[in-house]
Chain A
Amino acid sequence: DTQMTQSPSSLSAGVGDRVTITCRASQYVSNYLAWFQQKPGKAPKSLIYAASTLQSGVSSKFSGSGSGTDFTLTISNLQPEDFATYYCQQYHIFPPTFGQGTKVEIK
């Protein structure tokens, strides 16, 4: 299976900060890459698909980039509601696989 490695596994940031999360695929996945946000006890929420396309209704403070094997999720102007765990997912190679998650905590 295609391994997805996120870094860092966790980070601390303050309100108003800009943070970047990296996701690396063990194989070429083109731009078939999605990002999700998950809060404790809740379902994952789709943020981005096709590496950089914002899901309908998602704030433009979230942005994604990358292609091939290296991808990033950037969150600008961090707000209290953005503190959560973020997952990447590749869907170019079967089976679809997720990263291990990056927990964004309040500094």
Chain B
Amino acid sequence: QVQLVESGGGVVQPGTSLSLSCAASGFTFKNYAMHWVRQAPGKGLEWVAVISYDGSNIYYADSVKGRFTISRDNSKNTLYLQMNSLRAEDTAVYFCAKDRVNYQVLYELDYWGQGTLVTVSS
């Protein structure tokens, strides 16, 4: 079965960096676009970024553009999110999610990981 396991969250100070990982299994990772979605404590869902199956297409939400970098290593079945210049408003649970259809970026999120909490606080 599809499994997505995020890691790397923690407590960091404003202005610093953090890197998240998402280990995928149970499907052919290299064939699917992958997303990051976040949820601030007690709030709703906010889409963050997407990377196409081969890494050739990448898109970001305006709120993170220029500060966050999404990447993937298809040989390791792993998705990454490098977060720089972190702000208090980046505090959230970060979920990785799989796109439903292979080889396309549809933004149809069919499987999600359990999430990893990032807290930005001084």
| A residues in contact with B110, CB < 8 Å | 46, 49, 55
Listed in ascending order, the chain A residues whose CB lies under 8 Å from chain B are: 32, 34, 36, 42-46, 49-50, 55, 87, 89, 91, 94-101
Residue B45 lies at the interface, judged by CB distance under 8 Å to chain A = yes
Residue tally, chain B, CB below 8 Å to A: 20
- The one of A44, A91, A101 that contacts B107, using a Cβ cutoff of 8 Å: A91
The number of inter-chain residue pairs (CB within 8 angstroms) is 52
Interface of A is mostly: loop
Verify B45–A87 contact, CB threshold 8 A.
yes
Query: What is the 8 Å Cβ interface bit string for chain B, positions 86-114, against chain A (1 contact, 0 not)?
Result: 00000000010000100000111111111
Contact, CB under 8 Å: B113 / A43: yes
| CB-based contact A91/B108 at 8 Å | yes
- Smallest beta-carbon distance A55→chain B, Å: 6
